[in-house]
Structure 1
């Protein structure tokens, strides 16, 4: 749970930077601007649709546990935007870049904690596995395909696509890879018994 809270704080930073967000977050913002409801509400709605599509494509029972992840994520995004929306407004390009960079680092940290905790699966992550199994291609191919789909939808709905989107796509993976072993080591050390020396 803490990982999702940290992750969504980073998402809030990237949204407030006005430089562009990840393709999926750009779609959520675009839907909010054009249709209404909150960004968090669209997180939950779109995740439910993705779960349904995963079910049809994989011909398996729906992974409704992923909806719990989406619900927590949606609530956290709305909470952070409510708390920081009127406070975090970088005006100069340098401050916007800093806001974006801080957001990416926080997202990487939160994602690592969330993944290492092995919480309920994210519907988008499950989609990558479904597409990989259906096409016989790599995870990278599946991820790229999903990114292109979300980018196209975000463009249609006028979501915030910009240099920040490019940074998210290309730096998100390396930042996550940096934090994953660090968090894993912290969890392993925390689980090891500590003995007092007399």
Structure 2
């Protein structure tokens, strides 16, 4: 009987998650109401220095990997750079694809675009988390700060987000009401989708004959 390696399923979650996540990020950027703190910084760097938003995803991600390694006094997790690279490529692809046909002009259209982007990016994160490998540099920095300060995850994430917003503001990033909406609602939506993704994973595990590498 044909057997599906568990790592193949994880790769599927990882790839699909990044595709969905980057589509959501691009929609929030296109909404013109503000992106997440991290993505707002990427837009600001793009507006200030050129290159592309996706290129700055890779550059900032690499910088975070180095900072994390210094803070933890350990070797850099260069596998995390894979996540930044694929995310950067995905953002550029979707932003380029949406130009010309997703350009909301009215306030209602902008909010619809923002909320749709929020839902899609949250779904992508939930799917990606199911893969459980190649950590996102931002999430790793959150865990590093928690380890160094003793703060919980929520406070650690909030501190990093505030710093990112301040830097994004300095570079003229995509900060707006959408940034606040994403910061407040994304965790709730991600948690909601994770329940369904866990259920889907359980269903696939039962339906597909799987094996684990030793």
Same fold (TM over 0.5): yes
2:62 alignment partner in structure 1: 48
- C-alpha displacement at 1:133, in angstroms? 0.7
- C-alpha displacement at 1:85, in angstroms? 1.9
1:180 alignment partner in structure 2: 194
RMSD: 1.1
Which of 78, 84, 87 lines up with 1:64 in the alignment? 78
* Structure 1: distance between partners of 2:181 and 2:23: 17
2:160 alignment partner in structure 1: 146
* Structure 2: distance between partners of 1:23 and 1:85: 22
1:118 alignment partner in structure 2: 132
- C-alpha displacement at 1:4, in angstroms? 0.4
Instruction: Report whether the alignment pairs 1:130 with 2:144.
Output: yes
Change (3 A) 1:194 1:152: closer
Instruction: Report whether the alignment pairs 1:171 with 2:212.
Output: no
Normalising by structure 1, we get a TM-score of: 0.96
2:45 alignment partner in structure 1: 31
Q: How many residues align?
A: 195
* Structure 2: distance between partners of 1:156 and 1:10: 25
Q: Which runs of 5+ in 2 are unaligned?
A: 1-14, 210-214
Normalising by structure 2, we get a TM-score of: 0.89
Instruction: Report whether the alignment pairs 1:159 with 2:173.
Output: yes
Q: Which runs of 5+ in 1 are unaligned?
A: none
1:92 alignment partner in structure 2: 106
SS at match of 1:181: helix
Deviations 1:42-98 (A, max 9, x none): 000000000000011010110111000000000000010111122110000001000
* Structure 1: distance between partners of 2:79 and 2:156: 22
Moved over 4 A (4+): none
Instruction: Report whether the alignment pairs 1:190 with 2:208.
Output: no
Which of 86, 98, 106 lines up with 2:120 in the alignment? 106
SS at match of 1:192: helix
